[in-house]
Structure 1
Amino acid sequence: MYDKQTCYIVGEAKSPGNNPIMKNYHSFFVGFVVDSKNHRIIDAECTSILDITSRFIQSIFVGQSIFDEEGVAEEIRTRYYGSSQKALIVAYKQAQLKYKESLEV
């Protein structure tokens, strides 16, 4: 399904305690499939209760550069108004850091 030039990175963050995601999963996770040749996110999925949430978050990330921290964070702030907004940004930044570290190996 995914080319050999891709890699999988997961970011994790805490969501507000009253969030159903926290009640079910205890953390908020976002998985990214990244093309390691051009650093573009080609797929993304998150822990969510509603399928529409995961699909919407996917639409924010797919096609973006994993390195476009400010652009992606701004898009999240202006388009995603779920209670996990801050957690989504934190999880993305954590995944981005893991990806950068993988390139230094």
Structure 2
Amino acid sequence: MSYAKSTLYVIGDAQASVNNPITQQYSAFFIGLVVDSTDHTILDAACSSTIALTSDFVKSIFIGHSILALEPVAEEIRRRYHGSSQKALIVAFKDAQKKYKTALDLRD
């Protein structure tokens, strides 16, 4: 897949619980987001997961949302994602949001 030149790629990371299989495999939890910088819409997403379905499901939560709208995304995660990485997913999103804002500042 190719992305327009107006897109930015950001990764957010967080610590998952010690007994989480993701932590055992990757040492942390990561989410990657492709964002259209013209309107801040998340176009694509993936996360570190041990099951491909998890990454696909997480993708369905993020696509179409604004990366700048933390609470609507966090609420959707709390409502729909009931895996052991729920809190880590929200923290990773906050981290990605922070990196996105920094990237926008660097472009100005």
TM-score (norm. length: structure 1): 0.98
**5+ residue gaps, structure 2:** none
1:18 paired to 2:6: no
- Partner residue in 1 for 2:80: 79
Identity across the alignment (%):
56
Q: Distance in 1 between matches of 2:3 and 2:103?
A: 18
Match of 1:104, SS state, is helix
- Partner residue in 2 for 1:4: 5
Paired letter, 1:41: I
**5+ residue gaps, structure 1:** none
Give CA-to-partner distance per residue, 1:7-35, whole Å, 9 cap, x none.
10000001011111000000000000000
Q: Distance in 1 between matches of 2:5 and 2:86?
A: 32
Q: Distance in 2 between matches of 1:104 and 1:24?
A: 34
Q: Distance in 1 between matches of 2:48 and 2:54?
A: 9
Q: Distance in 1 between matches of 2:105 and 2:19?
A: 38
Q: Distance in 2 between matches of 1:5 and 1:93?
A: 21
Give CA-to-partner distance per residue, 1:15-65, whole Å, 9 cap, x none.
011111000000000000000101000000000000100000000000000
In the alignment of these two chains, the number of paired residues is 105
- Partner residue in 2 for 1:60: 61
Paired letter, 1:51: A
Q: 1:44-55 alignment to 2 at 5 Å?
A: 44-55=45-56
Q: How many angstroms does 1:102 deviate by?
A: 1.4
- RMSD, matched Cα: 0.5
Paired letter, 2:17: P
Paired letter, 1:86: K
